[in-house]
Chains A and B, each alone.
Chain A
Amino acid sequence: MSDTDESQMTFEQAMAELERVVGQLERGDVALDASIDLYERGARLKARCEAKLAEAQEKVAKITLDRDGQPTGTTPVEGL
């Protein structure tokens, strides 16, 4: 994966990539320059993960249906 697409990753992808980066850094077999790049990439991945985690907003809606059972829209659901 290139370094530019973290913002497009799903949480799961970012997580797997972060895990890989950390594992690579921990093995310690990366050159100094590369390890700095890796660290920066890890930081971006972590930011992506945190952003996805921060998106934890509850929004519950009920679908409204017409006579034939086809969806017409939603109504917010409160108090459940």
Chain B
Amino acid sequence: MDLFEDDTAQTPSNAPEFSVSELSGAVKRTIESGFSHIRVRGEVGRVTLARTGHLYFDLKDERAVLSAISWKGQVAKMTVRPEEGMEVIATGRMTTFAGQSRYQMTVENVEPAGAGALMAMLEKRKALLASEGLFDPARKRPLPYLPDIIGVVTSPTGAVIRDILHRLRERFARKVLIWPVAVQGQNCAAEVANAINGFNALTPGGALPRPDLLIVARGGGSVEDLWGFNEEIVARAAAASRIPLISAVGHETDTTLIDFVSDRRAPTPTAAAEIAVPVRLELATWVSDQETRMARSVTQAQERRAQRLRDLARSLARPERALEAPQQRFDRASERLDVALQGLVAKRSVELARTAAALRPAVLQARIAAAQERAMGLSARLAPALARGTNDHHKAFARVAQRLDGDMVSQIALRKSEALATTTQRFSRVTQGQISDWRARLDALERMRQTLGYTATLTRGYAVVRGAQGLVTSAQDAAAIVSVEFSDGLVAVGPGAAPAASAQPESTQGASVAQAGPKKAKRKAQKKSDAPPDQGSLF
């Protein structure tokens, strides 16, 4: 081992020397010649569609990965495009890419590895669209009864369009617009979807008039042939179509994705034409039937009315007969009329005569005389009745006057005089009593007055001394004394003295007299009491 290692490490080999390019070219030749046509089975890994249209993808199994490429032209020819997760058998050849030391497979065709794989993919799509509600029966629109223009999306050549036109012609020839599409291959799905969208984009009645019904049709084929109608874009375009759409793809047993979203699925293209239009002849028959029924019913209605009119007319009585009975009654009544009238006149004449008899002048005069007589009688009774009435009143008056006699009045007057006298006596008696009472009280008061007055004092020896200016109560004023009063008279003193007048001085001055001094007054009174009542004149 060591020697060998040393040899290789140190000894130059006899093997030829390659440049990188030479080796790469040699490898390329070896690989491409050895694997010029191969079929590889594997699962599709990551898929990338380059802008150039080339498709890059991986093929893999549990242990290895193989890069794969399909050129644009190859992709176009594929019926089935590789999708991630798909189990496929790829057909092609191996190539190398010397620039990166890589090898890869150029894939010309891809087939699903058994129908199961393809169906599994289809089921996955169906589940997706169903979850979006695109298969909902409520989304399906009714087809027009008789479309004017039918748009057909199919191949412009081949049996399918021929079958459709043929059947339409048989039933009810219509205007047909064919939108040509590839019904298989790589462009199929895109073209079909574009056709459905394109028909919907047309304006009704325009230069390119919009159809009122679409038929998407294709004849029978393998699952791969029909695969375009399983593509999602086709299904979505059909679901979005505002024009009612009939799908007719493949035979009755083939079901593609578009059948689930179309408004109606036809088992074959021919059947689509039958669904699309009614049979014109049947309609024409129906219309003429309607006309017949209409005419018949109108005729019948008129006949019914005519019959009824006849029946009614029959049951109407003849007018002459209707008048017979009244005529008879009239005749009989007319006959009786004259008789009845004459009888009535006679009866009334009798009544008139009877009534008129009572209205003769003699009878009236007698009634007037009688009335006059009664009036006279009443007049005669009038005066006596009046006199009698007056007399009665006179008598009544006299009776009342009699009751008014003098005695009674005198008696009343007497009674009243007595009552007056009594009252007067009682009055004078009372008055006398009153007056003597008052006198007694007056005397008593006078006595009391005299007792209380100074004059009584005078009798007990007091005297009242007066000056010119009034009472003299002081000895100093003695010169002015003019008079002295005693109980029995007045004595003048001094130059002007004169015998006392007997005039009584004012009793009101008595009080001052009493105060004049008891000694002097007593003395004077002593003197006075000795003297006779007229001794005043001794001074």
* A contact residues vs B (CB 8 Å cutoff): 10-12, 15, 18-19, 21-22, 25-26, 28, 30, 32, 35-36, 39, 42-43, 46, 49-50, 52-53, 56-63, 65, 69-71, 73-74, 77, 80
Say whether B298 contacts A35, CB under 8 Å.
Answer: yes
Query: Please, how many residues of chain B have a CB less than 8 angstroms from a CB on the other chain?
Result: 40
Say whether B298 contacts A63, CB under 8 Å.
Answer: no
Given A59-B175, A73-B208 in contact, is the A53-B293 Cβ separation under 8 Å? no
The segment from B17-25, B161-169, B347-355, B492-500 that touches chain A is B161-169
Say whether A62 contacts B290, CB under 8 Å.
Answer: no
Give A43 to B520 CA distance when docked, in angstroms: 184
CB-CB < 8 A to A25: which residues of B? Answer: 293-294, 297-298, 301
Say whether B176 contacts A61, CB under 8 Å.
Answer: yes
Given A22-B297, A56-B174 in contact, is the A80-B165 Cβ separation under 8 Å? yes
Give A52 to B174 CA distance when docked, in angstroms: 11
Say whether B294 contacts A10, CB under 8 Å.
Answer: no
CB-CB < 8 A to A19: which residues of B? Answer: 290
CB-CB < 8 A to A59: which residues of B? Answer: 175-176
Q: How far is the CB of B271 from chain A (nearest CB, A)?
A: 18
Q: Which chain A residue lies CB-closest to B207? A: A73
Q: Which chain A residue lies CB-closest to B165? A: A80
Give A71 to B179 CA distance when docked, in angstroms: 9
The reply to whether the CB of B47 lies closer than 8 angstroms to some CB of chain A is no
Q: Which residue in B191, B286, B298 is a CB contact (below 8 Å) of A69?
A: B191
The reply to whether the CB of B136 lies closer than 8 angstroms to some CB of chain A is no
Give A10 to B144 CA distance when docked, in angstroms: 10
Residues 162-186 of B contacting A (Cβ, < 8 Å): 162, 165, 168-169, 172-180
CB-CB < 8 A to B180: which residues of A? Answer: 62-63, 65
Q: Which residue in A10, A46, A69 is a CB contact (below 8 Å) of B287?
A: A46
CB-CB < 8 A to A65: which residues of B? Answer: 180
Given A57-B173, A77-B156 in contact, is the A71-B298 Cβ separation under 8 Å? no
Per-residue interface assignment for chain B, residues 283 to 300, with 1 indicating a CB less than 8 Å from any chain A CB and 0 otherwise:
110110011011101101
* B contact residues vs A (CB 8 Å cutoff): 144-146, 156, 161-162, 165, 168-169, 172-180, 191, 194, 198, 202, 208, 280, 283-284, 286-287, 290-291, 293-295, 297-298, 300-302, 304-305
Give A63 to B284 CA distance when docked, in angstroms: 32
Say whether B290 contacts A28, CB under 8 Å.
Answer: no
Say whether A49 contacts B287, CB under 8 Å.
Answer: yes
Q: Which chain B residue lies CB-closest to A11? A: B146
Say whether A58 contacts B198, CB under 8 Å.
Answer: no
Given A62-B178, A63-B178 in contact, is the A46-B283 Cβ separation under 8 Å? no
Q: Which chain A residue lies CB-closest to B194? A: A69
Give A80 to B269 CA distance when docked, in angstroms: 15
Give A26 to B291 CA distance when docked, in angstroms: 12
Q: Which residue in B169, B172, B301 is a CB contact (below 8 Å) of A28?
A: B301
CB-CB < 8 A to A63: which residues of B? Answer: 177-180, 198, 208
Q: A42-B294, A61-B178, A70-B198 are in contact. List 7 more A-B contacts (CB 8 A).
A: A22-B290, A26-B293, A26-B297, A39-B295, A53-B283, A53-B287, A56-B172
Q: How far is the CB of A58 from chain B (nearest CB, A)?
A: 4
Say whether B169 contacts A10, CB under 8 Å.
Answer: no
CB-CB < 8 A to A30: which residues of B? Answer: 301
CB-CB < 8 A to B168: which residues of A? Answer: 58
Q: Which residue in A36, A42, A53 is a CB contact (below 8 Å) of B290?
A: A42
Say whether A60 contacts B178, CB under 8 Å.
Answer: yes
Say whether B300 contacts A28, CB under 8 Å.
Answer: yes
Q: How far is the CB of B454 from chain A (nearest CB, A)?
A: 157
Give A20 to B200 CA distance when docked, in angstroms: 34
Say whether A56 contacts B198, CB under 8 Å.
Answer: no
Give A33 to B305 CA distance when docked, in angstroms: 12
Given A28-B297, A46-B287, A63-B208 in contact, is the A12-B173 Cβ separation under 8 Å? no
Give A76 to B313 CA distance when docked, in angstroms: 70
Q: How far is the CB of B136 from chain A (nearest CB, A)?
A: 26
CB-CB < 8 A to B294: which residues of A? Answer: 21-22, 25, 39, 42-43, 46
Q: Which residue in A15, A32, A43, A56 is a CB contact (below 8 Å) of B173?
A: A56
CB-CB < 8 A to B304: which residues of A? Answer: 28
Q: Which residue in B176, B198, B208, B305 is a CB contact (below 8 Å) of A32?
A: B305
Q: How far is the CB of A32 from chain B (nearest CB, A)?
A: 6
Say whether A58 contacts B146, CB under 8 Å.
Answer: no
CB-CB < 8 A to A77: which residues of B? Answer: 156, 178
Say whether A74 contacts B208, CB under 8 Å.
Answer: yes
CB-CB < 8 A to B287: which residues of A? Answer: 15, 18, 46, 49-50, 53
Q: Which residue in A49, A61, A71 is a CB contact (below 8 Å) of B198?
A: A71
CB-CB < 8 A to A52: which residues of B? Answer: 146
Say whether B298 contacts A39, CB under 8 Å.
Answer: yes
Give A21 to B295 CA distance when docked, in angstroms: 11
Give A61 to B41 CA distance when docked, in angstroms: 46
Q: Which residue in B169, B286, B295, B298 is a CB contact (below 8 Å) of A58?
A: B169
Q: Which chain A residue lies CB-closest to B187? A: A69
Q: How far is the CB of B234 from chain A (nearest CB, A)?
A: 14
Q: How far is the CB of B285 from chain A (nearest CB, A)?
A: 10
CB-CB < 8 A to A15: which residues of B? Answer: 145, 283, 286-287
Say whether A18 contacts B290, CB under 8 Å.
Answer: yes
Q: Which residue in A10, A26, A50 is a CB contact (below 8 Å) of B146?
A: A10
Q: Which residue in A46, A56, A73 is a CB contact (below 8 Å) of B291?
A: A46
Give A3 to B457 CA distance when docked, in angstroms: 165
CB-CB < 8 A to B300: which residues of A? Answer: 28
